Amino acid sequence: MENRRKIGAIHEEKAAEYLRSLGYRILERNFRCKLGEIDLIAEEAGALVFLEVKYRKSSQYGIPAEAVTPAKQRKICQVADFYRMSRHVLESQSCRFDVVSVLGEQIQVYRDAFPYR
């Protein structure tokens, strides 16, 4: 398990660097609460963006983004609600949910990957 966590941290860092190159401003990493965790929270083009980073060495078991199931999406939305409440984010603040897919060395960002659930 320790090794998996280390591999995840390495790819989250690569994803954060890539996102910065696209103009995202990383606000938080690995935001945790009793409801779960969000890998990265950023600001981009005026929107608050909650990002899930998924890594796969190969596409043998599908592309990484496919691992963000509807159940995982609901969990991310719950944690996002907690984040917004705990940080006193205005209700008028636009938010979206992006997924960063890291497949080997390829990184792809799915903007607005899923709706609020």
CATH code assigned at 101: 3.40.1350.10
SS3 2: helix
Domain count, the chain: 1
Domain-located, residue 117: no
Domain-located, residue 77: yes
Q: What is the pLDDT of residue 1?
A: 55
Q: Which domain holds residue 60?
A: 2-110
Residue type present at position 22:
L
Cα–Cα distance, 80 to 51 (Å, whole number): 10
Domain-located, residue 81: yes
Q: What is the mean pLDDT of each run of 10 residues along the chain (117 residues)?
A: 76 94 97 96 97 88 88 97 96 96 93 93
pTM exceeds cut of 0.75: yes
Domain-located, residue 91: yes
Q: What is the pLDDT of residue 92?
A: 93
Residues 6+ apart with CB under 8 A from 23: 44, 45
